[in-house]
Amino acid sequence: MTSFTSNTRGFPAPSSSSPTKVSCPTVPPSPYASSTGFSEINWDIFSRSGTLSPSETRILRMAETNPLTYVLVDPGDSVVYVNALVKTLGIESSNEVRHYVLSRVLEVLSCEVKGVEKLFWEGGEVKGSSILLRCVQSSDGWSVKASSCILSHLLTTSSAPSTPALQELIKTIFTILSNEPSMLPRVITALTVVVKGEDGRKECLEQGGVGCLGRFLRG
């Protein structure tokens, strides 16, 4: 269990005994997923429209019929798979498809394959960070929780943090809390993740995070 030391800057800081390996936050299953998983996605629609390439639809299908690690251990297939998930998430489609993609991303980040987070980074930025932020800003509660957990995890487990994206995520979380206080359970996990890091704590303080959270505690 992670322990904390007091911090005069207003947020708890991890103690020196905190583990170096950070697990992706756990998110409850999507309401669209039955006990046997999601219904089959018709990837041919995306392929025929030119949204996804034949190689991308092939990898997406492969990941549905094989253990996920089978795809992720291959250097080439793993990159194509993650790129295909990000690309699909950016398409305006049904909630079920969005839930499917976010669920698969959570599975990727939770698997035991070493260095999977690196698959989501390119040029010092998180792939599809703006797409994930749109999901955080959506009206769908499960998407808000899943995407905020994914983005907070990726932004705090890289040796090259994407400061603008981290700033925007924290700003989005506080905007959500100011406008819809009932959304606290949907974003509190992501907020807890970002304040464990120095950059996240500093940004939260600069955006008035102590006052925002203080209102919840007083309420």
| Average pLDDT value for residue range 180-190 | 92
Task: Return the ∠ at Cα 125 (arms to 161 and 178), rounded to 5°.
Answer: 70
Q: Is the pLDDT of residue 151 over 70?
A: yes
Q: What is the pLDDT of residue 147?
A: 97
In degrees and rounded to multiples of 5, residue 93 shows phi and psi of: -140, -165
Q: What is the pLDDT of residues 89-115, one digit of tens each?
A: 998 778 899 999 999 999 999 998 888
- From the list 161, 132, 160, the residue with the least C-alpha distance to 144 is 132
Q: What pTM was computed for the model?
A: 0.85
